[in-house]
Amino acid sequence: MADTLISRRSFLASACCAAAAPVFTPVSLMAMPGERRFVTIVLRGAMDGLDLLQPYDDPAFAKLRPKLALTPDKGLFDLDGRFGLHPAAADLMPLWKARDIAFVHSVSTPYRDQRSHFDGQDILESGGGHVREQQSGWLNRTLAAIPRTASRRAIDINTSTELILSGSEAVDVWSADSNFGSMREEADFLARLYQNDSDFAAALAEATRADGKASRGMVDAEKRTTAADVARVAAQMLKADYRVASFSITGWDTHVGQIQGFARPAKELASAIIALKSGLGPEIWNQTIVLAMTEFGRTVRQNGSGGTDHGTGGVALVAGGDIRGGRVLGRWSGLSDDKLLDQRDLMPTGDIRELAAAMISRQFDITPDKLTNTVFPGLSFDRSSDYLRLL
C-alpha cells in the first residue's frame, strides 16, 4: 500500500490535477557562447489551448462548450476577429500589441495513443516520434549541435535532471530546497478521488498524520514561490553566462471545475513571461525567444464535471522581442464533427517539434541536417517551414 501511495503522489506531482494549485519546477540552465537566448516553459498536465486561445468565431465552439466558451463581450480579449485570449492571461495583451508574442494553434507531438501524461511528456521532452524512442532530451541534444561550443556546459537547478535536459552533454546539478506543491491540497484531492477505497483511505490518513509537520512547511513554501519568482531567477542567470533556460508550470489537468482550475495556471504563465521580459531588460529581451508548450491538448467538448478530458491538438506560445508576433499561426481545421480527430479532439495540423526546431535554428545557427539527425531525429524540416514566418 505504501508503494501505491507513492505512485499516486508521483502522478500528481507530474500532472497536477485541477484540485491542486500550480507547481513550478526549479530552473534548468545552459551556458554557451553567443548573445541569443532561448527559454522553454513546459506546461505539464495538458494545457487546454481551446480555453487559452478561444475560437469564438467558430459557430460550433459555444455549442461544444456552453459553460466554458467566452466572447469579447463576456471578458474574452479579441486578438484577430477569430480568436480571443482568456481573461486570466490578460497580462499578455501588452506583448500582443507590441508584437512580442504569437500563438500557434492546432499543434501537437506525434503522440496518438493512450493520452497518458507520462507518455505525452516523454515525447514532448525527448523529441522522439514514439514513446521512449529517445533516451535523451532534445534540449540536451541542442547543446551538442550548437556551433562554437568548446566552453558549453549546462546546469540543472533541481534535485534531479528533467528529461528535456538529460543526455550525453554534461549537466551540473545544483540542488536547492524545492517546492513541488501543497501536500494538504494533494491529500484532499486523493481523499475525494479514492473515497471508496478503504485500504488507500487508511494509508492516506496514516501518511497525513506522519507528514503533518512537513506538509505545513511545504504549504508555507508554496505561498512564497510563484512562476514569476522562478522566471526572475531564470532572467538573472540569462543576463549572466547562461543562454538557455527551462522550467515547468503544472496545474493544467482540468477534468473538473475548469473555470476556476484553468484561471490559476493561466495567470501564472502570463506573469512568468512578463517577469522574464522585465528581468531581462529590453536589450536582452530582443535577443530572446520563449517557447511554452504542453504534452497534448484537451477534448473540444466539455465533460459533465465542468471540465475537459485528455485530447490531442493544442496551442503553443512563442514570445520574444525580436519575433514577428501579434499573430495566430497554425492551420485551423474547424470544430465540426467531420473535422475532429476521432470525433472528439482538435485536429493537429502542426508538429510542435518543427516549431521548436525553427526557433533553435534561428537562435543558435543549427543547420537543418543537425536538426533532423541530432536534435529531432527523423523530423522533416527545411528552411521553408511556416514557423520561420515568426522570425
290 has a pLDDT exceeding 50 = yes
How far apart, in whole angstroms, are the C-alpha atoms of residue 38 and residue 30? Answer: 10
Dihedral, CA atoms, 349, 353, 357, 359, nearest 10 degrees?
70
Confidence class for position 206, pLDDT limits 50, 70, 90: low
CB atoms within 10 A of CB 278: 14
Structural domains in the chain (count): 1
Q: Is the pLDDT of residue 74 over 90?
A: yes
What secondary structure letter does DSSP report for 28?
E
Vertex 284 angle, CA 384 and 388, to 5°? 10
Predicted pLDDT at 148: 61
CA–CA distance, 241 with 34 (Å, rounded to integer): 10
Q: Residue 272: CB partners within 8 Å, gap ≥ 6?
A: 41, 227, 228, 230, 231, 249
Q: What is the mean pLDDT of residues 311-336?
A: 96
Residue 282 forms part of a structural domain: yes
Q: What is the pLDDT of residue 162?
A: 79
CATH number at residue 251: 3.40.720
286 occurs within a structural domain: yes
Model confidence at 7, pLDDT cuts 50, 70, 90, reads: very low
Adjacent-strand bridge partners of 350: 107
Mean pLDDT calculated for residue range 14-25: 52
Q: How many CB atoms lie within 10 A of CB 206?
A: 13
Contact 350, 330 (CB under 8 A): yes
In angstroms and rounded to an integer, the radius of gyration of the C-alpha atoms of the chain is 20
Q: Which of 254, 255, 320, 268 is nearest to 25 (CA)?
A: 268
- Per-residue confidence band for 77, with pLDDT thresholds at 50, 70 and 90: very high
Q: pLDDT tens digits for 82-138?
A: 999 999 999 999 999 999 999 999 999 999 978 899 999 999 999 999 988 898 999
- In the prediction, which pLDDT does 384 show? 67
What pLDDT is recorded for position 389? 86
* Arithmetic mean of pLDDT over the chain: 82
Average pLDDT over every residue of 359-387: 89
The reply to whether 79 falls in a domain is yes
Amino acid letter, 155: I
Compute the distance between CA of residue 5 and CA of residue 245 in angstroms, rounded to an integer.
Answer: 33
Q: Residue 27's pLDDT band (boundaries 50, 70, 90)?
A: confident
Helix (H/G/I), strand (E/B), else coil: 211: coil
**Amino acid at the residue 121:** Q
Q: Which of 103-112, 257-266, 340-349, 382-391 has the lowest mean pLDDT?
A: 382-391
Going by the DSSP 8-state scheme, the letter that residue 35 receives in this structure is S
Domain span at residue 248 reads: 29-179+228-390
In a domain, residue 261? The reply is yes
Please determine, for residue 153, whether its predicted confidence score (pLDDT) is greater than 90. Answer: no
Cell numbers given for 391: 522570425
Task: With beta carbons less than 8 A apart as the criterion, state whether 191 and 204 touch.
Answer: yes
Buried b (16+ CB within 10 A) or exposed e, 311-346: bbbbbbbbbbbbbebebbbbebbbbeeeebbeeebb
Range with the poorest average pLDDT among 145-154, 182-191, 270-279, 360-369: 182-191
Write the DSSP assignment of 254-322 as a string of letters: -SS-HHHHHHHHHHHHHHHHHHHHHHHHHHHHTTEEEEEEES--BBSS--TTSS--B-S-EEEEEE-TT
- Domain contains 194: no
Q: What is the pLDDT of residue 286?
A: 97
Range from 41-45, 105-109, 212-216 carrying the lowest mean pLDDT = 212-216
Could you tell me the pLDDT band of residue 21, with boundaries at 50, 70 and 90? low
Dihedral sign (CA 281, 289, 312, 121) = negative
What distance lies between CA 67 and its chain's CA centroid?
A: 24
Q: Is residue 209 part of a domain?
A: no
In a domain, 17, yes or no: no
Residue 226: pLDDT band (50, 70, 90) is confident
Residue 47 is predicted with a pLDDT of: 98
Task: Give the pLDDT score at 169.
Answer: 76
The 10s digit of each residue's pLDDT in 324-372 is: 999 999 999 999 999 999 999 999 999 999 999 999 999 998 999 999 9
State whether the Cα torsion 18-264-157-353 is positive or negative: positive
In a domain, 166, yes or no: yes
End-to-end CA distance of the chain: 52
Q: Identify the CA nearest to 130 among candidates 345, 379, 299.
A: 379
